[in-house]
Chain A
Amino acid sequence: MKDYLTDLKLKRNSSFLKIAVSLLLAFCFSSIANAGLSDKASAQQAKVSGQVKSADGTTLPGVNVVVKNSVQGTITDTNGNYSILNVPADATLVFSFVGMKPKEVLVGNKTIIDVVMIDEAIGIDEVVAIGYGTMKKSNLTSSISRITDEAMKERPIMLVGEAFQGQLAGVRAQSSNGGMPGDELTIRIRGMNTINGDSNPLYVIDGVPRTDMNDINPGDIASIQILKDASASSIYGARGGNGVVLIETKQGKGKPSVTVDAYYGFSQTENKLELMNGNQWVAWNMFRRNISHLRAGGSMSDPMSSRSASDQIPGTWENWTPFTDWQDAVFQTAPIQSYQVSASSSGDIGSIYFSAGYVDQDGIVKHSYYERKNIRLNATMNVNKKMKVGVNLGGAYSDKNGAGLDASTGSNGNGKEAALHHALMVTPLMQLNEGTRDWGFPVNVGSTYPNPVEQLKETTDNTKYTRVATSIWGEYEIAKKLAFKTQYSYNYDGYTYEFFQPGNVTYANGYVTLGNSSATTTGVWTFQNTLNYDKILGNHKVSLLLGQSMEQQKYYRIYAAATGWPYESIKTLNVATTPTSATTNRTTYSNASFFGRVNYEYKDRYLVTASIRRDGSSRFGSNSRWGYFPSVSAGWKINEEALLKEADWISLLKFRGAWGMSGNDRIGDYTYMALLGTYNTSWGNQVISGVAPSRIANEDLKWESTRSLDFGIDFSVLRNRIQVNFDYYKNKTKDLLFSVPIPYTTGFSSFTNNVGSLENKGWEVDFTSHNIKRKFNWTTNLNLSRNKNKVLNMGDITEFTSKSQDAYFITKIGGPVSQFYCYQTDGILTSSDFDPEGKPLVPILAGQEEGNVKYVDQPDQNGEKDGKINSNDYVACGNNLPDLIYGVTNRFSWKNFDLSILIQGQLGGDVLFMGQRQFDIGAPNLNGLNRWLRSYKPDYERIYGSGENPVPVDYITEHEIDFSWDGKTPNPVGKNDNNDDRRIYDSGYLRIKNITLGYTLSKNALGNSLVNNIRCYVSLDNVKTFDDYPGYTTETNSFGNSTTMMGVDYSTYPLSRRCVFGVIIDF
């Protein structure tokens, strides 16, 4: 073991293959040690054979037959027969088969042992983690969901969050930046329990609290459990308010085995936007220039040279060739590959699991990619009967390039300056070798955007993470059923970011080459101690937990930026001409907690759990640093009552109710203190340091706390063949950590305080049915959940708005957080809305004319309309939170084939298509959506006189371009506001998320080989999406995960359609 560790350490930096080889070597070593320790000498040995059948008499092939506590074993053949040599007389044979109850038979002097295996009732004794302990699933009294390892094993999952999609009621997993490679999904449990705070759940990975689950190898995960209601999450107190995700990694199990898991595939963009093609662009711009000339008082009969320069139509346009399709130019068919090796074993000495993994995904947008290497070792050792020690070590290295598209790094202004956005707007006239400082721009088009392909190629937007998670623990049984556990862990996350954009492709910035780089390190140590005590006294069963934990996080960041590079071949800042910024920053965060829990069960049918946690956090003022988080829950298994005991068909009928409180402390460090900001100025042509308070102190600042009430029914019938879980919940979050807007006359704009309350209520249904369970198996899982979010109170204010670019949001009492806030439209202004002199007869925006979008003049509080269109007419227009989310998984298996189909989607919810403000306005010169060809066109001859028609009739006839009005697209000339409800779309969708077809070859079929099992599969992701959205995807949050500005699509990275071929081999 020790050698292995040194070995591992030495090889850490070497290539993936070497690691794999060393893992294999180490594996051999450990299995020998294991076997040596566990084999028991025996005098009498014999051959044992027999046949295995199921209860209905059919023979069972592929049943594992193992001599207990040894590596000796075999598998039944196609007729269910087996035979094992040299079986000791005192040995026990263990028969196991998926879906059947394992059976143990003492050999004694028998030489023929026939066995009948019976169906296992499904999941009846499943044990789930509940935080600092485990519990029988059937005895749970709070709402906890589990992602089965089936869901993770059967299809290739690159990021852990993918395993959440469509799997669990009440859990929404959505990408915040479309298909950007390597971006972990955003997880929301039962809506949003906060306004200004962070709504991410707490992640607890192998017992250690963490803020995210990024870069974990999904292949290493044994189980994921989600504590949804506060009675379950309150054991994590101040950090459980948005739910808790418990992730356990794999521990060594059973016979020594090695698994190799590899897949390879391709991805492509799901869809393209309907932009103007080259001829359409030319036709449109001829039209725009003609109309501009007419509006300037000219005539169509004027010679071209007499027009003002910007209205002239170059003669070259007529027969221009070739055109560039910039969407095709930036997208690519991209390869994906993943390789994993793991080894696992357990025995008397303990258990060991270790693995190495490598994934490499090229993005569907050129020059974006994600690459990750993972390594893990989980080991336990039984020191003696009372003491057990263990270690969990996980290392990850990831490398991601967003090619200037990455919204999370913010280097391109929330997508505004991203190449993908530019690709939708640069003219098709521009050639692939145009559009940079060196190459120049197409003549007389006036494009201000650089060549998107070059921009992608030249831009560095690179994020690298090095993550090391270490944890060492020991368990000691002080007395019978009284166990003490201590765990010390240290997690290190090292992040480096590099951005570089040569002046060549940053035309808008004045050709200035820009670069910045930052590095952060976050080190967290956690020390946790718990005592567990179990006691059964007749019908009474009591479990007690008492614990304590401490945690400290140290954060460090260094950032530097520069401009101007003499040569752009070197991209680091040291060779830059002018450094522009250099800062470092450090923060410390600590928390300390005490907690306890009591479970009491009477006759295994009356169940009560109560817990309390006391938490202290450095993020709060000295007046309110500590808080209490209690919970209580109860359950009643009616099926155990005499009344229903006879009803064999009911396996479980349980009512449960729970109340609990948990909190959220996710506001930055030191927020309660008044800090001095540096506000420099200039005197006498020199920089002068200045200071001023950057915020107001609040020594009373404390947690926001979520109180949740949950009622549930768990119901299983027909030996658990049909299982239903239903939950109704109501969460009320009080003392919201709210950056309260305060009058500017105070000198500040906001003040972080505990103000107001918020409600989330809803219901969830989880339904699993084993429809057919024989040679042909069919299982269906369906989950549905609805959540309604409502702001109840915000202290002194009733609403507040937030704004970014043209997008406004409003959060007000009675509505959900973050509603879109804009003009309501009412078709378009027709000629009847103007008098013969052209004066408007209805309220319009300044500069509007016939054919422009008509805006609704909203009544004020007194019900009166002011006859003007201005920001008083903004109304709340939907929000990003869905009404209903659902997922349906159907799994089929027949002989060696397995097939699973996952469909998921949502109803309701809206998304703001922000990018439209630039490519959906019918602008001249830029490219845009082709619907503008069919925009409203007033009667030009009536306005400008006979023969004065700006539509280039000859050109559109020749190229068969339709210029007739489509009945909805407005007149692009005049004024159409950007902040109106035309940009807001229903984000409901139904997606065939995944189809996986697999084929498994067992050892028997493979003959006498080393291999136990081979599974080959083909898996398709994002097969088809049904929605009404004209953009790439509604899975977006271009303004980051800010709670108050949700659901904006500003050049979101498209989702990719993937096709992957994989193989899993068990040795």
Chain B
Amino acid sequence: MKTYIYKSFTLLGIFLIWSCDDFLTTVPESSYSVASAYKNQSDFEYAIAGVYSAQQDLYSTNSCWFRLIISRSDDTRNGSHNTYGVDQFTDGDNVSTLSVGWQTLWSMINRCNLILDKIESVEFSDSNLKSNITGEAYALRAWAYYTLAWQFGGMPLINKEMSVAETKTILRSTQEETFAFAVADFKKAIELLPATWSGSDLGRVTRYAAEGLLARLLMFQSKFPEAKPYLEDIITSGHYQMEPNYVNCFNDSHDNGKERVWEVQFTGNLSGEGQSFSTGMLPEGYTDAVLIPFPGTAEAMYASLDMANAYETGDLRKDVSIVTNIKVSGVLQSKYHYILKYCHYKYVPQSKTDWANNIPILRYTDVKMMYAECLNEEAYIADGEAFNIINEVRSRAGLTPLTLVNVPNQEAFKKALIQERRVEFAFEGLRWNDLVRWGIAREVINNHFMEKDEGEGAYSMDGDYREIFAIPYDELSRYNDKTVMWQNPGY
């Protein structure tokens, strides 16, 4: 009996030995693990592309962050879809698109940190590429911090890979400190980035793109003298020129052309890298194949009447930017103005999400206009370089040049600039940024809301605190610690 028991336990013992830990160590067969990456040059090429991929998400759909930024300004009619009250200044801390934008910007920062932490110790066969990628990581991190700071205020400065617990100990800094951090990053990037990219690298951030964005950041803080040399450097580089035909600033036939200093890249051919942002501009049931190959979406955004009226008579930019009197579901819509700027195409999209049009972050015209603004801030010079620039922009739009008669002083010139920037950069997401930095946001927005089609005062910007958005509730609840991540005052 005992031997039987003994034998049977031996038998079982054999089975037990079979089940060892090796059996339980399964390796992913269909995904790469982080542990095996960031080891050589090509790993970093993929890694930096991963950062651009996140940036692209901010611009790619009809409910993206970029669309929301456009809707915040007086460019659009309030009550458009997918805007969660951002256009009506009734937004609180629960604007999901802002929360998604916030999340995407932080994943850009995280991806840049990972690259910057690991690239130093890796041997590259192409040492230029190593410094270029390092520069890109700095530039993209700077852009993300700048974008966060002007919209949400001061951010926690997370400058390396951190554990969840460690991240939770980093307090929000001030907006000033965040901008300073971004400035330092931009400066490092400018040292490391190439002047141009070519071929299948077109669209990556260049030295001039970094300079232009740095200038935009500095001007946001009214640091005109600091911004000016960077703009000068771009203009004198000779790499850029203004597109002779305004529509080609947006048509995909001129993607990555001379006008485009930096733009978010998209590819058609049903590659999955197209955008649906353009689709989201025109209304559902609208099927005029000449203008757009697809019926748009139920969430179309409208241009404001105010915006449509801002164009001077004969301004060629109006018909490029806005379309009125179109038929929707067979009914003529005379009530609404729609945004056409992103719907000029050469490549015919094969689906709603297949637009190849790049979306501009920085156009050369903006570089020049910013430069003109810096010059004017320095001193009003009648018929000087600033006049030349603004008139070059106006002449492309088929308008008469400004003279010292109608722009007699520094203040008048600034007014002219404000007007010119509005119509030139309509729906390009710059207006809200401009209104805030000029300190006129509340006045302009409240005037806008008094118009009949904007509700005649039903809405208002009830305080300057609305110059920045609320920190998403979602994020506050994730911290659940108001001493580290607190809400912006007013919200």
Contact = CB atoms under 8 A, between A and B. Distances in A.
B30 A688 contact: no
Nearest to A550: B19
Given A669-B26, A692-B47, A871-B92, A747 B107 contact: yes
B29 interface: yes
A798 to B, nearest CB: 7
Given A531-B12, A741-B478, A796-B480, A550 B37 contact: no
A448 B286 CA distance: 12
A742 B26 CA distance: 27
A585 B30 contact: yes
B29 A690 contact: no
Given A479-B5, A592-B19, A617-B24, A684 B202 contact: yes
Given A448-B284, A590-B26, A743 B478 contact: yes
Nearest to A446: B329
Contacts of A509: 352
A586 B200 CA distance: 32
Contacts of A446: 285, 329, 331
B405 interface: no
A1 interface: no
Contact of B473 (A508, A588, A871): A871
B285 A448 contact: yes
A679 B53 contact: yes
Interface string B462-491: 000000000001110111100001000000
Contacts of B114: 692-693
Nearest to A309: B331
Contacts of A798: 480
B193 to A, nearest CB: 15
A284 B50 CA distance: 53
Contacts of A669: 26, 28
A618 interface: yes
Contacts of B52: 681, 683, 688, 690
Interface string A727-741: 000000000000001
A581 B351 CA distance: 14
B473 to A, nearest CB: 7
Interface string B10-21: 011001101101
A649 interface: no
Contacts of B265: 681-685
Interface stretch (B156-164, B318-326, B417-425): B156-164
A674 interface: yes
A546 B284 contact: no
A444 B285 CA distance: 12
Interface stretch (B210-218, B270-278, B300-308, B396-404): B270-278
Given A510-B351, A673-B33, A681-B56, A479 B1 contact: yes
Interface string B350-374: 1110001000000000000000000
Interface in A811-849: 846
Given A309-B332, A550-B23, A591-B24, A681 B273 contact: yes
A683 B50 contact: no
Given A681-B56, A687-B271, A742 B164 contact: yes
Nearest to A557: B30
Contacts of A673: 28, 33-35
Interface string B221-262: 000000000000000000000000000000000011000000
B12 A684 contact: no
Contacts of A675: 28, 31-34
Given A484-B11, A679-B50, A587 B29 contact: yes
Of the listed residues A443, A586, A751, the one surrounded by the most CB atoms of chain B closer than 10 A to its CB is: A586
Given A578-B270, A697-B34, A743-B478, A679 B329 contact: no
B26 A589 contact: yes
B344 interface: no
B21 A625 contact: yes
Interface string A86-105: 00000000000000000000
Interface residues of B, number: 103
Interface size class of A (residues with CB under 8 A): 35 or more
B29 A674 contact: no
Contacts of A564: 350
B23 A747 contact: no
A872 B51 contact: no
Nearest to A743: B478
Nearest to A583: B30
A235 to B, nearest CB: 16
A674 B273 contact: no
A797 interface: yes
A559 B430 CA distance: 42
A348 B351 CA distance: 70
A670 interface: yes
Nearest to B89: A846
A234 B157 CA distance: 48
B19 A548 contact: yes
B46 interface: yes
A689 interface: yes
A693 to B, nearest CB: 5
A683 B203 contact: yes
B49 A688 contact: yes
Contacts of B26: 587-590, 618, 669-670
Contacts of A581: 272
A20 interface: no
B459 interface: yes
A122 interface: no
A648 to B, nearest CB: 41
Contact of B164 (A308, A690, A692, A696): A696
Given A479-B4, A482-B5, A743-B168, A692 B107 contact: yes
A800 B202 contact: no
B34 A690 contact: no
B334 to A, nearest CB: 8
A743 B8 contact: no
B204 interface: yes
Contacts of B30: 584-587
A211 interface: no
B49 A690 contact: yes
B46 A691 contact: yes
Nearest to A562: B270
Q: Pick the most buried of A479, A670, A675, A684: most chain B CB atoms within 10 A of its CB.
A: A684
Nearest to A530: B12
A549 to B, nearest CB: 8
B37 A685 contact: no
Contact of A310 (B8, B18, B94, B331): B331
B54 A616 contact: no
Contacts of B4: 478-479, 482
Nearest to B293: A510
B33 A744 contact: no
Interface in B267-293: 267, 270-273, 284-285
A590 to B, nearest CB: 6
A894 interface: no
B19 A616 contact: yes
Interface of B: 1, 4-5, 7-9, 11-12, 15-16, 18-19, 21, 23-26, 28-35, 37, 43, 46-54, 56, 85, 88, 90, 92-94, 96, 102-103, 106-107, 109-111, 113-114, 155-156, 158, 162, 164, 167-168, 170, 197-204, 255-256, 265-267, 270-273, 284-285, 294-295, 298, 329-332, 334-335, 350-352, 356, 458-459, 473-475, 477-480, 485
Given A527-B15, A618-B26, A691-B49, 12 more contacts: A552-B23, A625-B21, A673-B34, A679-B50, A681-B265, A687-B267, A687-B272, A690-B53, A692-B54, A742-B164, A744-B102, A747-B113
Task: List 9 tightest A-B contacts by C-beta distance, closest first.
Answer: A747-B110, A690-B49, A592-B19, A692-B50, A684-B202, A679-B53, A690-B50, A674-B34, A681-B53
18 contacts: A308-B334, A479-B4, A482-B8, A509-B352, A563-B270, A673-B34, A679-B49, A682-B56, A683-B49, A683-B200, A683-B203, A684-B198, A687-B273, A741-B474, A743-B475, A743-B478, A743-B485, A747-B106
